[in-house]
């Protein structure tokens, strides 16, 4: 859907620098791909070369951007967030599914459905479940006995929500996820692995988002608990009795072992692994592929595999490792000089 530069600037509360009238905006693209009729955004200094070469009609830039460029500038406080609003404005209208219960859905006894819910084909909702107003339940979703789904939730097709799960308001769960499967608990008795019953629940607080094909296990007892506003990416495994605080970010392929507690505003980057029964403090950041094996104090930034440490120290260690080939060549040269009885220069790394 087309728009003028002035309309888009007003939408994002931006200030226009340049002629806003010549070409209508017909689409959006990245800095390197944008051409005439496109709008793009610049929010990171590493993309400065792409900004200088950009052929877009308009660019959303930070308020302090002083780079001279050909496209019209729209100055905003947060270019990335403003670009998200622009994308919504330019995108085709979203498909609206009809409200109500599809005739192929299977609804158990004593199920409570709020106002204007959407229940798509082949959904199964077991007895005693509650679905809040304006929530969307996609095709082939299974919701187990006695579960609660709050208002304005969006459960994409092929999600499994097991019995007694508690889901707050405005929760978004993407396809393929399993919420409330059994925790991985066994005791080794007489040469065999004996299953330990997992009798607890999963609780997802308001505004949580769960990515595709993520598994959040029910607690052995008590609850596995994901705090308000936390966003969990695709392909994440969260074990039984894990507690994740508010507004944390858990990024793809993370694995968190049982009974570990994360504070608020924690970030676990891709493929981080966390052992069980430890605590990670508020505002901790763990870099990609980091292995967390012990308690982490609040506001720490750690990285490294197989065991993560303070990021500055880990980067220094990596730099030393990368210098080993040169060091090896240097040592061989020094050995040769020693054999030749020459005076040795000082060794520096």
DSSP codes, 60-85: EEETT-----SSEEEEES-HHHHHHH
Sole residue written with tokens 């209508």: 24
Question: Angle at which helices 311-322 and 324-339 pack, to 10 degrees?
Answer: 50
Round to whole Å and give the CA distance between 38 and 28.
5
Ranges of CATH 2.160.10.10 domains, the chain: 101-267
Tokens representing residue 95 in the block? 């498909």
CATH classification of 5-90, choosing from 3.40.50.920, 3.40.1390.10, 3.40.50.300, 2.30.30.90? 3.40.1390.10
Measured between alpha carbons, how far is 218 from 207 in angstroms, rounded to an integer? Answer: 20
Q: How far apart are CA 276 and CA 290, in angstroms?
A: 15
User: Given this model, what pLDDT does residue 313 score?
Assistant: 84
Length of the chain in residues, anyone? Answer: 349
pLDDT under 50: residue ranges of the chain: none
Candidate list 193, 240, 247, 277, residue with the active-site label: 240
**Is 151 within 8 Å of 161 (Cβ atoms)?**
no
Task: Summarize pLDDT for 148-196 with one digit per residue, the tens.
Answer: 999 999 999 999 999 999 999 999 999 999 999 999 999 999 999 999 9
Write the burial class of residue 89 (CB in 10 Å: 0-12 exposed, 13-18 middle, 19+ buried).
Answer: middle
Give dist(CA 127, CA 199) in Å, integer: 19
| Pairing between β-strand 273-274 and β-strand 291-292 as defined by DSSP bridges | parallel
| Total-model pTM | 0.85
Strand-pair category, 309-310 with 301-303 = antiparallel
101-267 homologous superfamily: Hexapeptide repeat proteins (2.160.10.10)
Partnered with residue 223 across adjacent β-strands are 201
Contacts of 338 (CB under 8 A, 6+ apart): 344
CA distance 266 to 279: 11
Q: What contacts 24+ positions apart, CB below 8 Å, involve 8-11?
A: 8/39, 8/58, 8/74, 8/86, 8/89, 9/74, 11/85, 11/86, 11/89
C-alpha 312, offset from chain centre:
25
134 assigned to active site: no
What pLDDT, on a 0 to 100 scale, did the predictor assign at position 325? Answer: 87
CATH 3.40.1390.10 range(s) for the chain read 5-90
Q: Where are the alpha helices (DSSP H) in the chain?
A: 5-12, 48-52, 79-90, 311-322, 324-339
Q: What integer pLDDT is reported at residue 338 of this predicted model? A: 76
- CA-to-CA dists, residue 251 to 255, 294, 345, angstroms: 10, 20, 49
Count of CB atoms situated within 10 Å of the CB of 3 = 17
Q: What is the pLDDT of residue 335?
A: 77
């Amino acid at each position: 859907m087309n728009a003028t530069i002035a309309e888009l600037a007003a939408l994002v509360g931006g200030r226009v620098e340049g002629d806003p009238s010549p070409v209508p905006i017909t689409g959006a693209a990245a800095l390197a791909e944008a051409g005439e009729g496109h709008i793009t955004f610049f929010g990171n200094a590493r993309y400065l070369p792409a900004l200088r070469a950009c052929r877009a009609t308009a660019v959303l830039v930070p308020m302090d951007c002083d780079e001279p460029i050909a496209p019209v500038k729209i100055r905003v406080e947060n270019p990335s967030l403003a670009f998200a609003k622009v994308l919504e404005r330019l995108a085709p209208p979203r498909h609206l599914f009809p409200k109500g219960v599809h005739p192929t859905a299977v609804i158990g006894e004593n199920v409570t459905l709020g106002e204007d819910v959407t229940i798509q084909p082949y959904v199964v909702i077991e007895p005693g479940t509650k679905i809040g107003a304006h929530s969307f339940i996609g095709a082939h979703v299974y919701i187990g006995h006695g579960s609660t789904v709050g208002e304005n939730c969006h459960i994409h097709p092929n999600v499994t929500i097991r019995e007694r799960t508690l889901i707050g308001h405005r929760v978004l769960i993407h396809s393929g996820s399993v919420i409330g499967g059994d925790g991985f608990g066994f005791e080794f008795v007489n040469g065999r692995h004996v299953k330990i019953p997992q009798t607890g629940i999963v609780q997802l607080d308001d505004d949580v988002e769960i990515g595709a094909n993520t598994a959040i296990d029910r607690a052995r007892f008590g609850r596995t608990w994901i705090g308000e506003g936390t966003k969990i990416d695709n392909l994440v495994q969260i074990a039984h009795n894990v507690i994740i605080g508010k507004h944390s970010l858990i990024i793809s392929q993370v694995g968190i072992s049982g009974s570990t507690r994360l504070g608020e505003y924690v970030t676990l980057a891709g493929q981080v692994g966390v052992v069980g029964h430890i605590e990670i403090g508020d505002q901790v950041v763990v870099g990609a592929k980091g292995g967390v094996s012990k308690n982490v104090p609040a506001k720490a930034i750690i990285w490294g595999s197989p065991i993560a440490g303070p990021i500055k120290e880990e980067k220094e260690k990596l730099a030393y490792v990368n210098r080993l080939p040169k060091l090896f060549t240097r040592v061989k040269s020094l050995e040769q000089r020693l054999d030749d009885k020459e005076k040795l220069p000082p060794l520096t790394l």
